[in-house]
Amino acid sequence: MTLLAGDLYLLRRKDRDQVEVYDVITYRRRLTVPGIWGFDHDMTSCEHYHCVYIADAHGECVHRLDVQGVFTRWTVSDTPRGLSVNAAHNVIVACPSVRKIKEFSSHGDLLSELTLPDDVVNPWHVIQTRSGQFIVCHGGRGDPVHRVCVISADGRHIVHSHGGQPGSDAGQYNVPRHLAVDDNEFVFVVDLNNRRVTLLSPTLQYVRQVVSRDQLKWWPNRLCLDTERRLLYVAENEWKDGKWTAGRVVVFSVI
């Protein structure tokens, strides 16, 4: 789920034609991008290059879709998960199986590669700040640490962190899965198994819970923040009989 040029791009779990485009004012579906299939992970967008990027974990690559519908792809050489775009309009890719952050140009040139500290296990999503530091959410089922960290620009040091042992208290997470950052670098965190969204300060101090379990029907997986309209889009999915069976997008005001 991502925003581009006043439209909401949504990645659906279905057999084909997975990318749908919705008007952000009416929420009506404008079009379905034909022929797109096989993706079930993250997507992000770039206003500068007018394109959308989609992570392909099975093919170990990223697909680039421009607003004219032209599709290209480039290899990551590891399993990509979370995607984001930094201030230089490059693509930041989280590679959890190797604990790496990779930076690519819009057309797939590898620009940098960082290995995260040993205790940052299963990084799901990474966003680079204007100062060059990285905000990382990490921790999966069975991992001893579930938290959000600010990592130094060289990837070696944890500057700030929030979380620790998995749990449901205000200072804990149970699979922090996805991030959004506003213009003041406040951080929104999807907490998958606690079914909530937490707001943190730029130094990762707890601010408040912006979306509670009572406001969600299923399990939240992805976030998208419209900073202009101060709207937070939360994608949630139903897990039933060992598979994802339904989904929807819930919109919240975060003024």
Q: In which residue ranges of the chain is pLDDT below 70? A: 14-17, 30-31, 33-40
Over residues 104-113, the pLDDT tens digits come to 999 999 999 9
Q: What is the pLDDT of residue 39?
A: 59
pTM of the predicted model, to two decimals? Answer: 0.92
Q: Is residue 139 part of a domain?
A: yes
CA gyration radius for the chain? 17
Pairing of strands 110-115, 123-128: unpaired
What is the pLDDT, as a whole number, of residue 5?
Answer: 87
Q: How far is CA 216 from CA 10, 82, 165, 251, in A?
A: 18, 22, 24, 11
Q: Cα dihedral sign for 252, 43, 113, 89?
A: negative
Specify the pLDDT at position 38: 52
Number of separate domains in the chain: 1
Structural domain of 183 = 116-253
If DSSP codes are grouped into helix, strand and coil, which group holds residue 236?
A: strand
CATH code for the domain of 237: 2.120.10.30
- pLDDT for res 10: 87
- In this structure, is residue 57 part of a structural domain? no
Residue 38: inside a domain, yes or no?
no
Domain-located, residue 73: no
